[in-house]
């Protein structure tokens, strides 16, 4: 396969991509990889980057199989990314309670440029959704990891509980398991 300067290529035997910067002798090229480093590869170690439209044929069944495979790969990557994001919660655990970590980096991918108020709003929205789901599933206890910081999120969570769920008991969660920045909530049904 022949490449020209500027072609985007993928590596045959590893993840990542690069852009051809020089065409050398003996079927070799120099490229800048996705991390910004220059490397030399033989052309048989590279494949050209293709768009989805390059895979279309006149065979609709085959095109649907290709589209299905591409979508499946995207879905698997999303699921893997999701599991990576929340697998740290597995270490907390007991079957009689559910844990949520409200640190903003665990809730959204990028929060740069957001104000503290915007971040707090996202955290509280996620807390309310989590609490309502836990109530619907009849969980006995939940643990909310809010961190220490200035205590604003902790205060807002407890204020929410006092106003809308005054019959729930809450207290600082186990220091040994969660450190100082967590609240455990015992979900009780309303007294009759």
Q: Note the pLDDT tens digit of each residue in 109-157.
A: 888 888 999 999 999 999 999 999 999 888 999 999 998 888 899 999 9
pLDDT for 103 beyond 70: yes
The bridge status of strand 8-11 relative to strand 17-23 is: antiparallel
Phi/psi for 182 (5° steps) reads -145, 150
Is residue 17 included in any domain, yes or no?
yes
The bridge status of strand 141-145 relative to strand 182-186 is: antiparallel
CATH code of the domain containing 98 = 3.30.1370.110
Is residue 73 included in any domain, yes or no?
no
User: Is 35 found in the same domain as 122?
Assistant: no
User: Is 107 found in the same domain as 42?
Assistant: no
SS3 letters for 24-53?
CCCCEEEEEECCCCEEEEEHHHEEECCCHH
What predicted TM-score, i.e. pTM, was given to this entire model? 0.51
pLDDT for 58 beyond 70: no
User: Is 169 found in the same domain as 107?
Assistant: yes
pLDDT at 160: 94
pLDDT one-digit tens code per residue, 7-46: 898 888 787 888 999 999 888 999 888 878 888 999 888 9
pLDDT band at 48 (very low <50, low <70, confident <90, very high): confident
Is residue 129 included in any domain, yes or no?
yes
Phi/psi for 174 (5° steps) reads -55, 125
User: Is 182 found in the same domain as 90?
Assistant: yes
Is residue 70 included in any domain, yes or no?
no
User: Is 111 found in the same domain as 44?
Assistant: no
| 66 neighbors 55 (Cβ within 8 angstroms) | yes
Where does residue 146 rank: exposed (0-12), middle (13-18), buried (19+ CB within 10 A)? buried
User: Is 167 found in the same domain as 91?
Assistant: yes
Is residue 13 included in any domain, yes or no?
yes
Is residue 95 included in any domain, yes or no?
yes
What distances in angstroms separate CA 172 from CA 70, 109, 148, 154, 178, one per listed residue? Answer: 46, 28, 11, 10, 9
pLDDT band at 68 (very low <50, low <70, confident <90, very high): confident
pLDDT for 174 beyond 80: yes
User: Is 97 found in the same domain as 174?
Assistant: yes
Distance (Å, rounded) from C-alpha 147 to C-alpha 168? 21
Is residue 161 included in any domain, yes or no?
yes
pLDDT band at 54 (very low <50, low <70, confident <90, very high): low
pLDDT at 119: 92
pLDDT at 74: 67
User: Is 163 found in the same domain as 102?
Assistant: yes
Token match 């591409």: residue?
70
User: Is 165 found in the same domain as 104?
Assistant: yes
User: Is 92 found in the same domain as 44?
Assistant: no
Is residue 39 included in any domain, yes or no?
yes
How many domains does the chain divide into?
2
Task: State which residues form the domain around 21.
Answer: 8-48
User: Is 33 found in the same domain as 98?
Assistant: no
User: Is 98 found in the same domain as 12?
Assistant: no
Q: Which of 39, 2, 1 is nearest to 19 (CA)?
A: 39
């Amino acid at each position: 396969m022949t490449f020209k300067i500027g072609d985007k290529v993928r590596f045959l035997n590893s993840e990542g991509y690069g852009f051809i910067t020089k065409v050398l002798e003996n079927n070799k090229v120099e490229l800048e990889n996705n991390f910004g480093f220059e490397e030399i590869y033989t052309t048989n170690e590279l494949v050209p980057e293709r768009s989805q439209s390059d895979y279309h044929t006149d065979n609709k069944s085959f095109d649907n199989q290709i589209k299905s495979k591409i979508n499946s790969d995207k879905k698997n990557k999303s699921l893997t990314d999701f599991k990576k994001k929340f697998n740290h919660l597995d270490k907390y655990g007991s079957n009689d309670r559910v844990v949520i970590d409200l640190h903003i980096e665990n809730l959204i991918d990028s929060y740069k440029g957001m104000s503290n108020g915007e971040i707090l709003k996202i955290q509280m929205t996620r807390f309310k959704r989590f609490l309502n789901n836990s109530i619907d599933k009849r969980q006995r206890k939940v643990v909310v990891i809010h961190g220490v910081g200035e205590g604003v999120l902790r205060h807002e969570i407890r204020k929410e509980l006092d106003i809308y769920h005054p019959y729930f008991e809450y207290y600082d969660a186990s220091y040994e398991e969660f450190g100082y920045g967590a609240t455990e909530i015992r979900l009780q049904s309303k007294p009759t």
